[in-house]
Structure 1
Amino acid sequence: MFLKRVKLLQEHPAFQQNVYPFSIPALRQLDKLDINQSVTFFVGENGSGKSTLMEAIADRCEFHTAGGGRNNAYDVDASEAALANYIRLSWLPKVTNGFFLRAESFYHFASHIDDIGSVDAYGGKSLHHQSHGEAFLSLFQNRFGGKAIYLLDEPEAALSPQRQLSFLRLIHDLVKTGNVQFIIATHSPILLGYPEAEILHFSEEGIQQIDYEETEHYQLTRGFLQNREAYLRNLFM
């Protein structure tokens, strides 16, 4: 692991508890967040602050906040990373290599790669000329490696269940080298099943570590698969 802690700078002169992003309960209650595993998941409902914290970390890493690494410079309406100026990152040791994936703006990153003529670094085929899922896996397989930190916001968005399993294998192979760290915001019960990962739940009560079986993603998916008819009957009443 490289990134050890995220600290909220409440002494920042512009800090206001009831103004975005601190109007989000999980972020308003944040003091410090320790990262204890090589693979860490952020989970919680939409709007719970997962992506806001993720893009702030990416900004402090000097990654492109619309998606990319330190050397990817392109113009797009990127998120402003509203939280970035209010956090401090603690490293041991600090790494500068890595990548920030935002599923919602991946199209712009793919266009950037075409514009600079770097398709050879992504399997020799334009990311736009692959299916969405193929393009994601091409990115993971060709760009990920070395000593690096990878920040991924909903990577399952383009991955079928089978490709999510392939992605888990890729994570496993990289983590075994001891040179990479993953922080992943996800709604996928498949990805969340990665062994020994740390799962941090964003909610009205703040950010707490929970077990896989405690996640709503696991409980809801398991309940639905075991009793689909009852779930649908109650849903459509």
Structure 2
Amino acid sequence: MALHRYPVRRLEEDPAHALDRGSWPAALPAVAHLLDRGLDLGPATILVGENGSGKSTLVEAVALAYGLSAEGGSTGARHSTRSTESVLADHLRLVRNAGATRRGYFLRAETMHSFYTYLEENPRTGLPDISFHEMSHGESFLELAADRFRGRGLWVLDEPESALSFSGCLSLLSVLKGLLADGRSQVILSTHSPLLAALPGAEILELGPWGLRRRAWEDLELVGNWRSFLASPQRYLRHL
């Protein structure tokens, strides 16, 4: 059997803290699927699906269960403005690979502005930090990813495309691809972007009424919808 070196090999419900299936977020099909069956993870996992399908709920719960801050940052971050996270992390068990790193970082685009302020107010010891507030949203997001996503670790991202242009998404893909190169890092990413969903070597999970299903990039509803729109925008726009 191959020895895996990336941090987390499986997600499953903690049997000592079972979550009521009639309550939120267990009522979401994707969350129920995870709790009922567990989920084996590889080095890179991409979550795609419509708004409300549970993508952010799942990545947030993984980040919290790993020890990362719900609003972004590393295991040492204590940034919190308003607690809105679900209880899922309290019912989730992460099965770690033996000897793997416990480092990691969580980036979510919706909390980045306040997170930059937190970083300014809590500077790194002996190191000058980047002036994130002086950059555009996309530039600062990429600078933070390139600066913090280094070496081994679990790198969790929630819909980062909301901060990025087309070329910015390509730049982020380059950062993530480099992290995965030595087999000791792991990426979990939720996205609406067909570009980010194309991360080389990633397993793609499509969320919906069916729960979770593994899909090839070219078979995703996300990819098919974008292809159809770009081929004939007026077919869609005339129905608005």
Q: Same fold (TM over 0.5)?
A: yes
Matching of residues 140-179 of structure 1 within 5 Å: 140-179=145-184
- CA separation in 2, counterparts of 1:49 and 1:10? 21
Deviations 1:27-80 (A, max 9, x none): 1232201112x2210111111111111111111111111111111123421333
2:17 match: secondary structure: coil
Number of matched pairs: 232
Aligned with residue 106 of structure 1, among 112, 125, 134? 112
What amino acid is the match of 1:169? S
1:17 aligns with 2:9: no
| CA pair 108-119 structure 1, distance change in 2 beyond 3 A | farther
- CA separation in 1, counterparts of 2:49 and 2:127? 34
Alpha-carbon shift at residue 5 of structure 1 (Å): 0.7
Q: What is aligned with 2:46?
A: 41
What amino acid is the match of 1:110? Y
- CA separation in 2, counterparts of 1:228 and 1:121? 49
Q: What is aligned with 2:3?
A: none
Q: What is aligned with 1:97?
A: 103
In structure 2, stretches of 5+ residues that fail to align are 1-5
Say whether the 8 Å CA contact 1:66–1:79 is kept in structure 2.
Answer: no
The TM-score with structure 2 as length reference comes to 0.90
Aligned with residue 229 of structure 1, among 217, 224, 234? 234
| CA pair 2-75 structure 1, distance change in 2 beyond 3 A | closer
- CA separation in 1, counterparts of 2:126 and 2:45? 31
What amino acid is the match of 1:97? R
What amino acid is the match of 1:18? G
Alpha-carbon shift at residue 106 of structure 1 (Å): 1.1
Q: What is aligned with 1:212?
A: 217
Matching of residues 119-158 of structure 1 within 5 Å: 124-158=129-163
In structure 1, stretches of 5+ residues that fail to align are none
Q: What is aligned with 1:181?
A: 186
| CA pair 185-125 structure 1, distance change in 2 beyond 3 A | same
What amino acid is the match of 2:108? R
Say whether the 8 Å CA contact 1:98–1:150 is kept in structure 2.
Answer: yes
Deviations 1:78-99 (A, max 9, x none): 3334101111111113432110
1:173 match: secondary structure: helix
- CA separation in 2, counterparts of 1:121 and 1:199? 37
Matching of residues 65-76 of structure 1 within 5 Å: 65-76=70-81
RMSD (Å), alpha carbons: 1.9
- CA separation in 2, counterparts of 1:223 and 1:88? 40
| CA pair 161-121 structure 1, distance change in 2 beyond 3 A | farther
What amino acid is the match of 1:204? P
1:29 aligns with 2:33: yes
Say whether the 8 Å CA contact 1:119–1:125 is kept in structure 2.
Answer: no
- CA separation in 2, counterparts of 1:120 and 1:163? 30
- CA separation in 2, counterparts of 1:208 and 1:70? 30
1:117 aligns with 2:119: no
Aligned with residue 3 of structure 1, among 1, 5, 8? 8
- CA separation in 2, counterparts of 1:52 and 1:39? 18
- CA separation in 1, counterparts of 2:16 and 2:179? 38
Say whether the 8 Å CA contact 1:152–1:183 is kept in structure 2.
Answer: yes
Sequence identity of aligned pairs in percent? 36
- CA separation in 1, counterparts of 2:15 and 2:51? 25
